[in-house]
Amino acid sequence: MDESAKRLLQRLMRRIPTQTLPGALEKWARLTTDQQKSMDFTQSKWALTEKLLAICEENELSVRQLADLEMIHIIDNPDKGMWYAFQLVDPEDDAKSVELMQFKEQFKSHLKELVRNVSIKMKKHTDEAVWIRIAWGDTFSQPNHLKPTYVVHYLQTPYVFVTGITSKQKPLLSQALVLSTRYQAIKDANLSGRKLTAIRDLLMKKYQQVFPTKYPIPPPENNPNISNQHIEKEQAELAANRLQMAREAFGGGMLPQLQSAVYKLETKFRDHSNKTMTEREEPFRCVVKFTSTNLLESFRHCASSGIASTPVTPLLSCIPLKGRNYFVITDNGPGPSSQVCQPQV
């Protein structure tokens, strides 16, 4: 086993917590049953690393096989690291019929044409997602397995999620993706976050949607404590209206755990009490950032409890509507016009 493989294994052992290690090793299936049994998971991490290093030497495992282990771990724990969402635009006629084998071959061949030394692993997950792990090298050096890029693409949808990519590698990846999925271009979806599951559910609308109805069926009694006939709420109808509007804007049930939203304001300063600032011609630039453990749930609660006025302002409701969490607000006309102001990299 060479140096790079050893370093990769050590890094992996640092990242994978001891609870998930036995499961990951079993899925990896590169250890014989005897070797698996001989690993004592109550020892310290350092001791485990040494043991595993010895076993891998014995089995003569290479870097590529170790990369498999890393991929297994990341697929099972996708909520670490910063994920960015991209959207493919302008499909060709046969974009909808791209199937797995075709996509795999095309992507590998296109990327290998663009980059001399690159190591690609592709895996299909049970829920229609294709996971791609890319270790980048160049004409003079071997692929660097310590800084891989992970890409998740859902076939037949225009959505791609990427983590761990630098600005130099982005155009190469974009080119390969565009050619292999039969679209004409790829653009930034302005959605990023730490939890892949959250941004995926938000963009692909995989949560309960509530649609406006003229005669809403009252929701099932979720406050059993109000059943006492001596307690009566005076403003129950107003509260129910607010709740309905909040659910229409953000969705019902469990919401994707989005953790931040950023608004970049480039509007003119407006405050009648402050003449000096209002008289300036240039727009007043400021950035507003909302963070929370579950941002959409907080917004929905603000709207249903009356802290935020209903109907919900389009500035907030376009987060779930458009599936974005980065907005640039300028002064054109009434209401916010959010423009994609990303420098194309």
Minimum CB distance to another protein smaller for 97 or for 229: 229
Residue owning tokens 């005076």: 234
Minimum CB distance to another protein smaller for 222 or for 225: 225
Minimum CB distance to another protein smaller for 29 or for 238: 238
Q: Is 309 in the site for another protein (CB under 8 A)?
A: no
- Beta strand pairing call for 129-136 and 118-124: antiparallel
Query: 6 - beta bridge partners?
Result: none
User: What mask, x for binding another protein by CB under 8 A, covers residues 203 to 242?
Assistant: ----------------------x--x-xxxxxx-xxx---
Binding segment for another protein among 47-55, 99-107, 120-128, 301-309 (CB under 8 A)? Answer: 301-309
Alpha-carbon distances of 13 from 8, 74, 202, rounded to whole Å: 9, 13, 32
> CB of residue 232 vs another protein: minimum separation in angstroms?
5
Structure token pair of residue 333: 């006309």
User: What mask, x for binding another protein by CB under 8 A, covers residues 72 to 111?
Assistant: ----------------------------------------
> CB of residue 301 vs another protein: minimum separation in angstroms?
11
Longest Cα–Cα distance in the chain: 81
Residue owning tokens 């049953």: 33
> CB of residue 215 vs another protein: minimum separation in angstroms?
18
Identify residues 28-67 at the interface with another protein (CB under 8 A): none
Q: In what order do the strands lie in the sheet with 260-267?
A: 284-291, 260-267, 326-330, 337-338
Three-point CA angle 270, 272, 278, nearest 5°: 45
Is the separation of the CB atoms in 86 and 160 below 8 Å? Answer: yes
Structure token pair of residue 231: 């307690």
Residues forming contacts to another protein in the complex (CB under 8 A) are 225, 228, 230-235, 237-239, 305-307
